[in-house]
């Protein structure tokens, strides 16, 4: 029996592929059952977030790299040749190292973000409740939780961590310089939309509008941000008025099609529209960016801002990596003791 971690993440795959590989869409429990039915692991945990889809398995299957890659491809209706170039595979202690870095926020698009530790805990809890875990994955994941806590307690990595929402607003500032005289429309009313609104508030934008399919949710967020709620039926007018649109709806299909954006561009009389899509799956059809005077950015375009953030905290990263190395050594020694 050997431990494997196989998957795709923002480090290995573009958003165009990541949005197609989403175990959470049909339920992680369903994916776990499908893996078990195929005999792909004695112990199994599936981690699925907007920026990663990963399988952790204890298995004696031959050629697990290909088996898990083909499973991920077939499960999502994709060709193996499409997925395989973007797969990562880690074995044994390297699989543990990968998970520990993930749990500590070191492998996140935004390094140091705290949400991932909770997502790792949820992934383990689901697998454990469904009896897909065992001695090795139990030890592995509890060690990962400890690493995540240590990194936050013993380093300053989480202090002032840049979120995706912050990075999106920073991108808008890089484009426009001063945001004070601009109108901004946020699509969505969840946590990411809320954080985006808070950062926009700090920039003193001229007008802040929030649109959601659920008007009550938009109204609640608008009150919190001193903004204006927009009924979904009035979205064309709101799009026509906005200088910047930031989308974070969590929808499974694009909410802004090329045709819809093309319609709202006509009355704008060549006034440019900047759209920053931070949702995965994406909220905006990619070919909308081909329209004249439409400037479309997605979550992968935030990498430059994220790298600047990492450079400022290089010392904290070194300390966090040292904690990971220490805990990997401890876990590897435990695995070795089981084999003797």
The catalytic site residues sit at 50
3-state class (DSSP) for residue 16? helix
> DSSP for 122-163?
HHHHHHHHTT---HHHHHHHHHHHHHHHHHHHHSSTTTTPPP
CA neighbours within 13 Å on the CB side: how many for 216?
Answer: 0
CB atoms within 10 A of CB 87: 18
**What kind and span of H or E run contains 3?**
strand 2-9
d(CA 31, CA 33): 5
Give the bridge partners for 187, in sequence order: 211, 247
Q: Which alpha helices (H) appear in the chain, and where do they start and end?
A: 15-18, 23-26, 28-37, 64-75, 80-83, 93-103, 115-129, 135-154, 164-176, 191-202, 215-225, 235-241, 258-265, 303-312, 314-339
Quick one: 294 exposed, middle or buried, by C-beta within 10 A (0-12, 13-18, 19+)?
Answer: buried
Cβ–Cβ under 8 Å, residues 323 and 155: yes
d(CA 46, CA 53): 7
d(CA 300, CA 35): 30
Cβ–Cβ under 8 Å, residues 221 and 195: no
């Amino acid at each position: 029996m050997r431990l494997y971690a196989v998957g795709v993440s923002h480090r290995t795959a573009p958003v165009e592929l990541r949005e197609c590989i989403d175990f959470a869409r049909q339920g992680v429990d369903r994916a776990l059952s499908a893996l078990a039915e195929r005999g792909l692991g004695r112990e199994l945990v599936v981690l699925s977030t907007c920026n990663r889809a990963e399988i952790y398995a204890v298995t004696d299957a031959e050629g697990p790299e290909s088996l898990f890659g083909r499973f991920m491809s077939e499960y999502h209706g994709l060709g193996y040749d499409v997925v395989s170039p973007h797969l990562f595979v880690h074995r044994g202690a390297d699989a543990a190292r990968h998970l520990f870095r993930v749990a500590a926020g070191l492998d996140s698009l935004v390094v140091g973000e705290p949400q991932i530790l909770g997502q790792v805990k949820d992934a383990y809890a689901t697998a454990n409740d469904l009896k897909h875990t065992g001695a090795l994955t139990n030890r592995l994941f509890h060690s990962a939780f400890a690493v995540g806590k240590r990194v936050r307690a013993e380093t300053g990595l989480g202090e002032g961590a840049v979120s995706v929402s912050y990075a999106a607003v920073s991108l808008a500032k890089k484009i426009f310089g001063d945001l004070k005289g601009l109108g901004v429309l946020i699509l969505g009313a969840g946590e990411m939309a809320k954080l985006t609104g808070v950062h926009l508030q700090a920039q003193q934008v001229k007008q802040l509008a929030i649109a959601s399919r659920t008007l009550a949710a938009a109204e609640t967020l608008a009150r919190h941000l001193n903004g204006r709620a927009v009924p979904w039926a009035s979205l064309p007018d709101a799009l026509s008025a906005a200088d910047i649109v930031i989308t974070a709806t969590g929808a499974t299909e694009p909410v802004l099609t090329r045709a819809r954006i093309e319609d709202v561009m006509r009355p704008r009389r060549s006034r440019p529209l900047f759209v920053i899509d931070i949702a995965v799956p994406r909220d905006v059809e990619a070919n909308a960016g081909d329209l004249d005077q439409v400037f479309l950015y997605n979550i992968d375009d935030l990498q430059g801002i994220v790298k600047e953030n990492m450079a400022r905290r290089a010392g904290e990263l070194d300390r966090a990596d040292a904690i990971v190395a220490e805990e990997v050594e401890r876990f590897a020694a435990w695995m070795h003791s089981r084999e003797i």
